[in-house]
Every structure is written in structure tokens, then in C-alpha cells.
Structure 1
Amino acid sequence: MSEKGYENTNQTNNQKYLGKKGLIAFIALMNMFIPLSTDLYLPALPKMSSYFGSSISVTNLTLTAFFFFYALGILIWGPISNKYGRKPVLIVGSIIYIISSSFCALSSNVYFLIFSRIAQGIGAGGITSVSIAIIKDYFSGKERESILAIVQSLSGIAPMVAPIIGAWILKISTWRGSFWILTIISILNLLLTFLYEETLKDNERYRGTLAKSIKRLLVVGKNKGFLIPAIIFSLSALPFMGYIAISSYIYVDYFGLSEQVYSYFFAANALISIAGPIIYVKYLSTIDKKIFASGCFGLSVLSGILIITVGKLSPVFFLLSFMIISLIGTAIRPFSTNILLEQQNGDTGSASSLINTLFTVLGSVGMLLASIPYKNIVVGLGGLVTLFSATALIGWYGFIKSNVPCIGLKQPNYELNKDTVN
């Protein structure tokens, strides 16, 4: 056993029942849980406010509370998966999600719904926290980056079709129908989990106590080559999740569209997002990574300016303006996730948890900021896009110019300090 509590043996990854393609599809499904958990009932948000007699800010707590506790969940689930394996975490997370989804569907008041969404977020954390870790368990090098792009593109189907399905559900049922659909999907995920065979190798399994396993988060967090770019990349989540929180109000209340038409606009934005990872892998992966990221952040600033100036004029102009940051946000994800995973030799579950937690926490902040009653809701969102994209651009420039090493980006021959690895 090593000094960090990891046992060194050999184990070969094998998926007897799912196979390689099945595993990729399973990972994609796990990554769909977050957009499905939010986008499926987005068209119903205005009607839910009327049903419960609650304000927009209170109803939107069903979103922000979900994401906040999802962030806390993944922060804990990742280290636990390092000790006990990915499969037990997936089983427990799926069961929690199934029960809480049914509670959401049965909610009689907005506060019980918020409580149920909190539990749902914790369960979702167990499902998604290990998805990135499984990719690193099973794939490596250039193939891992390609698989990340494939999974993220497949996962992009969910935000494209979820609001359309949600709008259709409203025609034949109520908002409760969306949560019954989520219950069924989570049951399917649990069944696939039983077919999945553990991918965490024995030589990467943490053998110390659970408390020490969770403390590994601090070890990963002390790695500046991991933490600083993780924060910078996660800043893009802030305005995008703000858009998720208020998009239905923008299209339905501000522009006066129906829930059905709104779902088509939302799906169109999601469709362009799917193209991001594909475009990166096929055309942009050979570009200098420093220049590529700088260009992405710069285009995001442009997107914010366009939203402020022309996005408020019509739903079409708003869609076209926001599409830029949507495309950029997904195009940069395969590169950013792979770079961050490269910074840690071991502690994959902890690294995966921190990546998802930073993205989610900042995204929750974005939801709260976007829900503020601005004089003009579109201009308010555009301001958030511009401000935080510019912050990411400045932060990225400072990081590139700093002496902080980053494997695959700066000082490629740099060896990780023993204190940051297992």
C-alpha cells in the first residue's frame, strides 16, 4: 500500500454486458440527467408560479436549490467513489433520484417541491459525479478527448428535446408529468447500472478511511495548475445557467411566445450547442490551446454585447446573439475537461467532483443573479454574459503569463509534485 493509501494491483477494464459502445451511451445518459432535470419542466415554470401562487424568484428556487445541493452532492460522491468504486455510488444515487422525482411529481406546495428538488439534486450528484471519472478510468490520451467530445455531443440531445417534450406534456398533462418522466428515466439508468462493470482499477482505489478520502479534495484543490483554470473555465457556466433559469420568462413573458414556440427556440439553441464539441475535434483540436481558449472567451464577450444591443429587439435576434456563447461553451468543454484531468495523477473522483462542483456552484450563482428583477430582463442577462466572459478572458491571460505550471498547456515536461498525487 502506498503512503497515500492506494493499493497497487493490476486490473483490466472490461464491460462484458455493455461493451465499449454501450459504456459510452451509458455515460452520455448519465450526463443527460442535469439538462433533463431542468429543461424538461422549463416551459411549465410560468404556469407553476401561477399554480403555487409564488413569485418568479421563489419558483426559481426549484432550479437554484437543485443545483446548489447537486454541487454539494458531487463534492462528496466523487471521493466516496474513489474508495468504494463507481458502481455503488451510481446505485445509491439512482435510488435517491427515483424516490425524490416521484416526490416532486406528488408535491402539493412549492416548498415541498423545493425540498424534493434538493433531494433530487443530491441523487443526481451521485449519478453524474462519476461519469467523467469513468471516462478517465477507461480511456486515455487523444482517445479520451475524443470520447469527451462524443459524450458531450450526445448529451446535448437532452437540452434540445427536453423542453419540446415538456411543452407536449403540458398539452396532455400538467407540470407533474415531467417529473414522472424523470422517474422512469432514472429507473432505466438504475437498470443499466446493474449491467455496468466497475472501471476503477485496484491500483487507483483509495484504501484509507472515508474521512481521509474526502480530504483528498483539499489535495486536489491545492494544485494551482488544476484549480485556477478550473475556476476560469467554470465562469462560463454563470451566465449560461442564468439563461436556463430565465429563458422561459424571456420568450414567454417578455417576447409573448407560447410555451410550445418557446420550446422550439430553446431547442434551436441546444442544437447549435451539440455542434460545438464536433467542430472542436474535427477542425480546432490542432490549434494552439492558449490561442483557442482566448478566442473562445473573446467571442463570448461579443455575444454578451450583441444580447444587450440587438437581443432585446426580437426573439430571433436574442436567439442568434446567445447562440454564440452556447456554441463556444460546448466547443471548449472537451479541451478544458481533458486539460484539468491531466493535472491529477490519481484522485480522479475528487478531480471530477471539483470540476463539476465549480461549474455548478457558479452556475447557481448565475441563476440567482439572472433572477433579479432587472428593468429589462434581456439586458440584465446580456450584462452577465459580458461581465463574466470578460473576467474569464482576463483571468486566462493572467494564468498563461503566470509561472503556474499546467501539463499539456505550459511546461509539458513538468512532473507533478508528490504532494499532489497519490
Structure 2
Amino acid sequence: MNGQRRLGSGTFLLLVILLGAFGPISTDMFLPALPDMVDEFDTTAAVMNMTLYGFMFSMAVSILLLGPVTDKYGRKAPLVICLAEYVVTTLLCAFVHDVGILIVLRVLQAIGAGAAMTLSTAFVKDCYSGVIRLKILNIVAIVGVLGPLLAPIAGAALISLWGWRATFIAPAVIALVCLVLALMLDETLPDGERVDGGLSDMLQGMKQLCCTPSFLVFTVMICLFNLPFMAYLSVSSYIYEGMFGVEPVAYSLILATTLIVGTVVMMLINRLTGNIVKRRIIGLYLVLGGFSGIATLLVGDTAWYVFFACFSVCVAVNITIRPWGMGILMASHDGDSGTVSSLINFMFFLIGCIGMVLSTLPWKDYVFGLAVLICISSVLYALLWTVFKTGRMELKGLDGTSSEVSERR
């Protein structure tokens, strides 16, 4: 790891982890309040959900553009600027009284959140390698799960005490702590390792990666199950509170339990498949995803606990497949870590944003809509893997085990 004069290794790791959680804490903390916010702002669920997928789309674009910027200008300065912007826009969200202004502020807030997510991954690539890198990626992935796990619970507590506006003040405080740590940070990308050239050169680097079929196809594959997952986050409060009559606090606990189950399954899959060639694990994710979609379609609307059980399988797939695939992709492209991480994260959140939009279509009910989205994701996953195989595409590490991939650089 690159030495930090003012930040110890533990404090630096804490910063990396917190930055990786900016997406979840920015979206999930106020989820329990969405039905009440619809009433307070005198609007509809579809309009209020624009605060979610408007945020997600803006964050995806931010992730895409800021990765190459940090490859050229370094990590510290963009991080400090974007964290300051995040603090300001988040505090403004806490005091707004118009839903249109709230949507605009959420779009602006997402710029800072996207920078944090991008730089979290870039710091991992800059400062860690081999087995340690894979472990840190898994830690960041787990925290990315703990974020949406704990955020609704914390949000429900804040809402019960001070109302939904407190769910924006809390992320602003977290961002302020990160800003202080960022000011103490030593640059992790030396001048000699930065990308030369202007914006056109940076965009050209992106184009080259996107025109690499193996990179593009595999990236979309590992992000597909984020479509139903983010759709679930978008409408889960309406399902549990509106459709099944669950109380807001109980909803938060159910959401947390869903993510706990997903995390436990991720750890179990990683343990059981650690010595299995990665190419053979691809079919496992397809089977689990397909099972979740069909089960949710057939019996998901019978009771909240049945829906919980069916959809938890999809959550587990989404949580597991991202760090698994990201480790392969990052090992396959050693240069331009900011560009690589930004493209992976961009695709992840763009597909999630599409899921949020699709979740608000006039389905028979939200449970049916989620089941259809899981099935669509599973079918697309199978088709893309078929394209990957028939096109004889290859990625370094795909034919190795987890330990073998992590030792490559």
C-alpha cells in the first residue's frame, strides 16, 4: 500500500470504505419515509421516485466522467471538491419544500456521490494488489451491502425523532468527516503514473475499453442483476407498507434482513467456490437468478415473508457477482484504473437506474413487476454468456480460481 504520512493504514481503509458507501447512504436512508413524503409534497409515487432514479442516473454519469479526470489530475483534488459539493447539496435537500427542487438537488448531490464511489475503487487499485486487493474489494462490497442494510434502520429512527429531513443531514455529516480525512490525504497517484493528454484522449481511452468486446460483454453480465435489485429498493416500501400492510420500522428491519441473508449467502458461495475455476461458477449465478424470478412470479404475492424468501436469492446473486466479476476485470486491465473502475461502476448504476424506471411501469402489482425484471435479467445474462463463448472472448483470470486471480496483477 502507498504510505500515508498523516493517515494510518486503518484510517485510510476507513476512508475507502466510507466513500464506497456514498451511494447506499444517499438513497436508502430516506426510503422508509417515501410514502409519507408523497403526501407531504402532495405528489405521486412516480414523481417522488424521480428523486431516486434521477439521482442514480446522475451518479452513473458522474462515475463515467470523473474516472478519467482522476487519472489525469490525481485523486485528492477532485475528491475534496466533490465532497464539498456533496455536503452543500445534501444540506439543501434537508430544507427544501418543493418536490421539483428536491429532484434537482438530488441530481446535483449525485455528482459528489459518484466521485466518492469512483475514487473508492481507484484507491483500491492504486494502493493494494494481489490477495489484499481482492480482500479489500470484498470488504467494500460487504460495506456496500451494510449501507442499504443499516441506512433504512437508521433512517427510520431519525424519521421517528426528527422527521425525514434528518435523513439528509446525517449523510452530510458523514461526508464532512470524509472531507476532513481527504484534506489530510497524500496523493495516491504519482505524477509519473497519470494519463497524459486532454479530454479527447481520456474519452479515447474509454472508447478503446468499450470497444473491447470481452470487457463490455462481461461488464454488462455482472451488472444485470442490479436491475431488479435497484427496482426493489425503489418500490420495496410500497410493497411491504402498502401491499402487505407492514409498519415502517418493521419494513426497515425486513429490508435489513434481506441484505443480511444476501451477505451470508455471498460469503457461503465464496467459501464453497474458492477453488473452483471461475468460468464454471457463471452457470451457478444463472440458476439462482432464474429460480428467484420464477419463484417470485408464482408465489411472491401470497405473503410478505414468501416474497422476502424469493427475492433474497436475487439479492444474494447481485451482491456476490459484482466483486467476483470486478476482480477479474481489474486484473485484466492494469492501466488507467480510474477509467476501468468508472466504466464498471457506471454500467452498474446505469442498469440500476433503468431498473428503477421500469419498476414504476403500470404492472399488475409491484411484486409481479419485480419478478418479470428478474426473469429478464436472467435471460439476458444467459444470452450474453452465449455471445461471450461463441465469440471466443477471453479475460485474464476467468479460467483460474479466486486465489489465482487475486495473485495476478
TM-score range relative to shorter protein: over 0.9
**Alignment match, 1:158:** 147
Q: Is the 8 A contact 2:23 2:114 kept in 1?
A: no
Q: Is the 8 A contact 1:92 1:126 kept in 2?
A: no
Q: Distance in 1 between matches of 2:72 and 2:269?
A: 34
**Alignment match, 2:351:** 362
Query: What is the CA distance between 1:401 and its match in structure 2?
Result: 3.6
**Alignment match, 2:92:** 103
Unaligned runs of 5+ in 1: 1-11, 413-422
Superimposed CA distance per residue, residues 89-120 of structure 1 (whole angstroms, 9 cap, x where no aligned partner) = 21111011101101111111100000000000
Please tell me whether residue 92 in structure 1 is matched to residue 77 in structure 2. Answer: no
* Alignment equivalent of 1:324, drawn from 313, 316, 321: 313
Moved more, 386-395 or 173-182: 386-395
* Alignment equivalent of 1:274, drawn from 254, 263, 282: 263
**Alignment match, 1:257:** 246
**Alignment match, 1:341:** 330
Residues 10-409 of structure 1 mapped to structure 2, 5 A cutoff: 13-409=2-398
How many residue pairs get aligned? The number is 401
Q: Residue 273 of structure 1: SS of its match in structure 2?
A: helix
Q: Residue 43 of structure 2: SS of its match in structure 1?
A: coil
Q: Distance in 2 between matches of 1:332 and 1:388?
A: 13
Q: Distance in 2 between matches of 1:384 and 1:158?
A: 23
Q: Is the 8 A contact 2:266 2:317 kept in 1?
A: no
TM-score (ref. length: structure 1): 0.91
Q: Is the 8 A contact 2:219 2:344 kept in 1?
A: yes
Unaligned runs of 5+ in 2: 402-409
Which AA in structure 1 matches 2:57? Answer: F
TM-score (ref. length: structure 2): 0.94
Q: Distance in 2 between matches of 1:168 and 1:408?
A: 44
Which AA in structure 2 matches 1:237? Answer: N
Query: What is the CA distance between 1:180 and its match in structure 2?
Result: 0.9
Superimposed CA distance per residue, residues 333-367 of structure 1 (whole angstroms, 9 cap, x where no aligned partner) = 22200111122231111111110111111111100
Q: Distance in 2 between matches of 1:34 and 1:297?
A: 26
Q: Is the 8 A contact 2:214 2:388 kept in 1?
A: no
Q: Is the 8 A contact 1:277 1:333 kept in 2?
A: no
Q: Distance in 2 between matches of 1:45 and 1:283?
A: 39
Q: Distance in 2 between matches of 1:68 and 1:147?
A: 26
Going from structure 1 to structure 2, the CA distance change for 1:141 and 1:153 (only over 3 Å counts) comes to: same
Superimposed CA distance per residue, residues 355-405 of structure 1 (whole angstroms, 9 cap, x where no aligned partner) = 011111111110010111311211111111111122112312331342222
Q: Is the 8 A contact 2:277 2:400 kept in 1?
A: no
Question: What value does the CA root-mean-square deviation take over the aligned residues?
Answer: 1.7
Which AA in structure 1 matches 2:10? Answer: K
Moved more, 261-270 or 274-283: 274-283
Q: Distance in 2 between matches of 1:196 and 1:274?
A: 31
